[in-house]
Amino acid sequence: MSHYFETPTGRATTFRVGMRLWDADVELESSKGVFSGGGLDVGTAMMLRSTEPPTGPVHLLDLGCGIGPITVALGLANPEARITAIDVNERALALTRSNADRLGIGDRVSTLLPEDVPVDELYDEIWSNPPIRIGKPALHELLTTWLDRLRPDGTAWMVVARNLGADSLTVWLEEQGWGCERLASAKGFRVFAVRRG
């Protein structure tokens, strides 16, 4: 069984999907075998509605970028932002790269497999609709790895479905010493800001 967090096999057939990202209406190139390939997923849409884009010359991480809606949203909203978009799905990375280039933000976007990110790279903010379905141990390892890349005053913005463990994830993060502020709760999703405790 294929999952969006694995690189699909076979030739990719691409198509365009329209979406609203903060104040921008865009079309992103998409394909089967990637997260939310049919359009902007409900969780990410809710996260964007519940947050404001960062301002100024910040370095941002899109953790699990899919076809790049968060990367594109950040890049279009903040012309000073540098964005690192990571995913384990190489088709998703290619689509994010293509979308960033086509929408004129490609010079500020790096698309990388997780293992290719420089080990000393730190981020002002992390944005993510994390891959909950990889399982709790793998998810905890992923979040531990990347949250440790936040600068001391940094924030991670995340959205998680309530029925997939949003509340228990919040408890776990707090047990690890992170502060979790719930920003919104609707349509079965929780949006929260994670900062160092």
In a domain, 3, yes or no: no
The domain in which residue 148 lies consists of 14-196
As for how many domains the chain has, the answer is 1
**Residue 143 pLDDT > 50:** yes
pLDDT score of 174: 97
**Residue 74 pLDDT > 90:** yes
pTM for this model (two decimals): 0.93
For residue 110, list its beta bridge partners: 84
CB atoms < 10 A from the CB of 25, how many?
Answer: 8
In a domain, 94, yes or no: yes
Give the residue-averaged pLDDT of 88-98: 96
CA angle 66, 72, 77 (to 5 degrees): 150
- Phi, psi for 141 (deg, rounded to 5): -65, -45
**Residue 2 pLDDT > 60:** no
CB atoms < 10 A from the CB of 135, how many?
Answer: 10
Q: Are 156 and 194 a contacting pair, CB within 8 Å?
A: yes
Alpha carbon distance 156, 150 (integer Å)? 8
In a domain, 8, yes or no: no
Question: Any idea what the CATH number is for the domain that residue 19 is in?
Answer: 3.40.50.150
